[in-house]
A and B are shown apart, each in its own frame.
Chain A
Amino acid sequence: MNNTDKKRLLRDMLFSRRFEEHCYVGYVERKIGGFLHLYPGQEACAHGVMAAAKPGFDYVITGYRDHVHAMLSGADPKAVMAELYGKETGTCKGRGGSMHIFDVEHRFMGGYALVGGPFPLAAGMAKAIKLKGGEEIAICFLGDAANNQGSFHEALNMASVWKLPVLYVCENNLYGIGTRIDRSTAVLDQYKRVAGYNIPSEQVDGQDIEIVYKAAQKAVDHVRSGKGPYFLELMTYRYRGHSMSDSNTYRSKDEEKEWIERDPINILRERLIKAKVLTMAEFKAMDKEILDEIDNQIVPFAEQSPEPDVAELEKYLFAENDPWVTGGAQGGAS
């Protein structure tokens, strides 16, 4: 990774931060409904891993904290914001919402809101890749608390038995909704848990994107070379509550402060300034440019886009005009 790459990653992380901060505003203004799970604090995780992967080529799937993962796969931020606003121009035409962003063209295979649901889906995508003989890999991003679901154990076992090309990325932010990991989970180091499935794994600092990138490169190489699944645990922290409806009263101010001091954007920014690759003025200009894009392009697009047509309420339930439903093109029942 050269300095240009690092500056791009810094800008991209800052963009994700500002995008999510606007989502907060849109939610408070009641322009965004439902549940909203924000990503600030965890940026180095998805950005670092996707920098080591092939966005738009590799298949990515995640949970409900999905806006940033979708955009990193290639989803248009305008379409993601429009989806949050429930508009027809949204990634899912307003049918999905914050927790269900999909962009299949860019191989972002969705955000899922049943905790742990994507574990077997990711293994299945990897099975399909293997069957078809492709070079792609499946990447599944989920939080630490998802590992307490049965689907984690069932899917990781199968992925290992069948040597499927799937990378499981565990963004360990230490809380499952409002319950701290040591109050819910017997083994705190999540990377140790997959030893039971004979899957290689590593735990690294999820706040330093260069560390994440390096670990992800190793993980991606392992999976892409046909050696089977890999589990990468990234130690991180979310600044806001689990969702917007979270009182966030279960964490101490000291703990929050400690993590904010290790902010992923600040870490990279300070490093680049120290290396004289970047000046504070440049960073501020970068920030202004991002805010300008969000305020003057992305948000207006979402706000001004049309609502879905209620006449199309039942569209997308089933495939349209599927000949096999009525007995096929070959003559039907005998």
Chain B
Amino acid sequence: MAEIRFWEAIRRAHDEEMANDPLVIAMGEDIGVAGGTYKATQGLYDKYGPERIIDTPISENGYTGLGIGASFLGVRPIIEIMSVNFAWLALDQIANSAVKVRYMSGGQLTAPVVIRSPGGTAHQLGAQHSARMEKVFMGIAGLRVVTPSNPRQAYGMLKSAVRCNDPVFIYEHELMYNMKGEVPDAEFFHPLVGSEVAREGKDVTLFGYNISVHWCLEAAKLLADKHGINCEVVDLYCLSPLDRAGIKKSVSKTHRAVIVEEAEPAVGVGAEVMAIINEECFFELDAAPKRVSAVNIPIPYNHALEKATIPHAKDVVKAVRAMMGK
């Protein structure tokens, strides 16, 4: 078991899948000669050549559609959209072509593409490079949406996504590529459905995903150390379909829930998890569930303003203490 960085885990998954199947290709802006903005394909251009590691023009809808078209004939493209903000431009091909062909062809055609893209607020990137678009992708029927919170998941999910016959969107985070974590040396495939208990607890469940899992874990430690509150942290690594059974199981155990999301609250992960709690285990609740979300504004440039826009572990601590009356 080696400790490697998040980007190295993604790179390893690319390399193994490309070595395994000559029809696996990767495409995106600057992923080839330049080695990838976040190094996810570093060195692979030299290894697999320009026909399989494709530097695309800055044409997000165009190259996403091109990857989708290639997948109709059995090619397995891993499409990197450099920043999720640019995925707005590719939504036509994702939402109208990739996810609908199987259904509207009566099961004849499928688009087994993987689209990877980092979102989130990083370091003062401003409103047009700080989008959190998970809620958009979660709303698209026929699209699998997963979001790794650590290198192990990033490696194993990409491996499964490449082989899966459905279109898969992998939502990554700009701030997490240098994060270190243990990844098994032996090849493995991570599920594209379900959730994971990242910390066992009994008093309240903190639901997080992607970067907010780390805020939840930090808050859980503070709450245990300073306030005697024992939080369970559930990592919702699969955002669509959300793990109804996993959500129900944890809330039925702790009877309280706080959902932590980097995105704005409206129509988001928190809203959806709350709806699932209502539908699955309303009478298990000892308190009304809470959301800890971003302020509903475009992300400002100024550092202090940016910081005040998105949630942090201290906001989670505050919400849990209010809920527990401690």
Residue B222 lies at the interface, judged by CB distance under 8 Å to chain A: no
**In the complex, which of the residues B22, B152, B163 contacts A328, with contact meaning CB atoms closer than 8 Å?**
B163
Check A324 against B65 for contact (C-beta < 8 Å). Answer: no
* Complex Cα gap A166–B69 (Å): 12
Residues on A lying within 8 angstroms of B by beta carbon are 59, 61, 90-97, 100, 102-105, 109-110, 112, 114, 117, 119-132, 138, 150-151, 153-155, 157-158, 161-162, 315-319, 322, 324-328, 330-334
CB proximity of A141 to chain B, nearest CB, Å: 15
* Complex Cα gap A313–B75 (Å): 28
Give the interface segment out of B125-133, B181-189, B296-304: B181-189
Residue B23 lies at the interface, judged by CB distance under 8 Å to chain A: yes
Check B102 against A317 for contact (C-beta < 8 Å). Answer: yes
Beyond A124-B72, A324-B192, 4 additional pairs, beta carbon < 8 A: A102-B106, A119-B62, A330-B187, A331-B188
CB proximity of B179 to chain A, nearest CB, Å: 19
Give the interface segment out of B92-100, B224-232, B249-257, B281-289: B92-100
Mask for B239-254, Cβ within 8 A of A = 1, else 0? 0000000000000000
CB proximity of B156 to chain A, nearest CB, Å: 6
A150-B61 contact, Cβ under 8 Å, with A102-B104, A110-B105: yes
Mask for B47-91, Cβ within 8 A of A = 1, else 0? 000011010110101111111111111110000000000000000
**In the complex, which of the residues B69, B101, B142, B166 contacts A325, with contact meaning CB atoms closer than 8 Å?**
B166
Q: Which A residues are in CB contact (< 8 Å) with B160?
A: 324-325, 327-328
* Complex Cα gap A92–B103 (Å): 8
**In the complex, which of the residues A97, A130, A333 contacts B191, with contact meaning CB atoms closer than 8 Å?**
A333
Q: Which B residues are in CB contact (< 8 Å) with A117?
A: 65, 92-93, 96-97
Check B59 against A110 for contact (C-beta < 8 Å). Answer: no
Residue B107 lies at the interface, judged by CB distance under 8 Å to chain A: yes
Check A110 against B61 for contact (C-beta < 8 Å). Answer: no
Interface size, chain B (Cβ < 8 Å): 59
* Complex Cα gap A100–B101 (Å): 9
**In the complex, which of the residues A59, A92, A153 contacts B108, with contact meaning CB atoms closer than 8 Å?**
A92
Residue B33 lies at the interface, judged by CB distance under 8 Å to chain A: no
Residue B109 lies at the interface, judged by CB distance under 8 Å to chain A: yes
Check B73 against A112 for contact (C-beta < 8 Å). Answer: no
Check A121 against B65 for contact (C-beta < 8 Å). Answer: yes
A123-B69 contact, Cβ under 8 Å, with A117-B97, A325-B160, A325-B192: yes
CB proximity of A40 to chain B, nearest CB, Å: 25
CB proximity of B169 to chain A, nearest CB, Å: 14
What number of A-B contacts does a CB cutoff of 8 Å give? 207
* Complex Cα gap A331–B104 (Å): 33
Q: Which B residues are in CB contact (< 8 Å) with A158?
A: 56-57, 59, 62-63, 66
Q: Which A residues are in CB contact (< 8 Å) with B93?
A: 117, 120-121
Check B69 against A122 for contact (C-beta < 8 Å). Answer: yes
Check A155 against B66 for contact (C-beta < 8 Å). Answer: yes
Q: Which B residues are in CB contact (< 8 Å) with A327?
A: 156, 160, 188-192
CB proximity of A31 to chain B, nearest CB, Å: 19
Q: Which A residues are in CB contact (< 8 Å) with B275?
A: none
Check A128 against B57 for contact (C-beta < 8 Å). Answer: no
Q: Which residue of A lies closest to B167 (CB)?
A: A318
Residue B294 lies at the interface, judged by CB distance under 8 Å to chain A: no
**In the complex, which of the residues A100, A121, A154 contacts B59, with contact meaning CB atoms closer than 8 Å?**
A154
Check B107 against A333 for contact (C-beta < 8 Å). Answer: no
Interface centre among B54, B106, B152, B192 (most CB of A within 10 A): B106
12 sample A-B contacts, Cβ–Cβ < 8 Å, listed by A number: A61-B69, A114-B92, A117-B65, A117-B93, A117-B97, A121-B66, A138-B69, A154-B65, A319-B165, A325-B192, A330-B187, A333-B191
CB proximity of A328 to chain B, nearest CB, Å: 3
Residue B175 lies at the interface, judged by CB distance under 8 Å to chain A: no
Residue B271 lies at the interface, judged by CB distance under 8 Å to chain A: no
CB proximity of B46 to chain A, nearest CB, Å: 19
* Complex Cα gap A319–B101 (Å): 12
A334-B141 contact, Cβ under 8 Å, with A127-B69, A324-B164, A326-B193: no
Q: Which A residues are in CB contact (< 8 Å) with B65?
A: 117, 119-121, 123-124, 151, 154-155
Check B25 against A131 for contact (C-beta < 8 Å). Answer: yes
* Complex Cα gap A126–B67 (Å): 11
Q: Which residue of A lies closest to B190 (CB)?
A: A333
**In the complex, which of the residues B63, B107, B184 contacts A334, with contact meaning CB atoms closer than 8 Å?**
B184
**In the complex, which of the residues A90, A93, A103, A328 contacts B107, with contact meaning CB atoms closer than 8 Å?**
A93
* Complex Cα gap A61–B54 (Å): 24
Residue B144 lies at the interface, judged by CB distance under 8 Å to chain A: yes
Residue B210 lies at the interface, judged by CB distance under 8 Å to chain A: no
Check A326 against B66 for contact (C-beta < 8 Å). Answer: no
Check A322 against B63 for contact (C-beta < 8 Å). Answer: no
CB proximity of B275 to chain A, nearest CB, Å: 19
Mask for B108-125, Cβ within 8 A of A = 1, else 0? 111000000000000000
Question: Quick one: which of B25-56 are within 8 Å of A by CB?
Answer: 25, 51-52, 54, 56
Interface centre among B23, B63, B108, B192 (most CB of A within 10 A): B108
Q: Which residue of B lies closest to A157 (CB)?
A: B57
**In the complex, which of the residues B59, B61, B108 contacts A102, with contact meaning CB atoms closer than 8 Å?**
B108
Check B186 against A131 for contact (C-beta < 8 Å). Answer: no
Q: Which residue of A lies closest to B191 (CB)?
A: A327
Check A319 against B166 for contact (C-beta < 8 Å). Answer: yes
Check B142 against A104 for contact (C-beta < 8 Å). Answer: no
Q: Which B residues are in CB contact (< 8 Å) with A330?
A: 187-189
Check A333 against B69 for contact (C-beta < 8 Å). Answer: no
Interface centre among B75, B104, B193 (most CB of A within 10 A): B104
CB proximity of A122 to chain B, nearest CB, Å: 6
CB proximity of A302 to chain B, nearest CB, Å: 15
Q: Which B residues are in CB contact (< 8 Å) with A114?
A: 92, 96-97
Check A318 against B109 for contact (C-beta < 8 Å). Answer: no
Q: Which residue of A lies closest to B56 (CB)?
A: A158
Check A332 against B189 for contact (C-beta < 8 Å). Answer: yes
Interface centre among A97, A109, A153, A315 (most CB of B within 10 A): A109
CB proximity of A25 to chain B, nearest CB, Å: 25
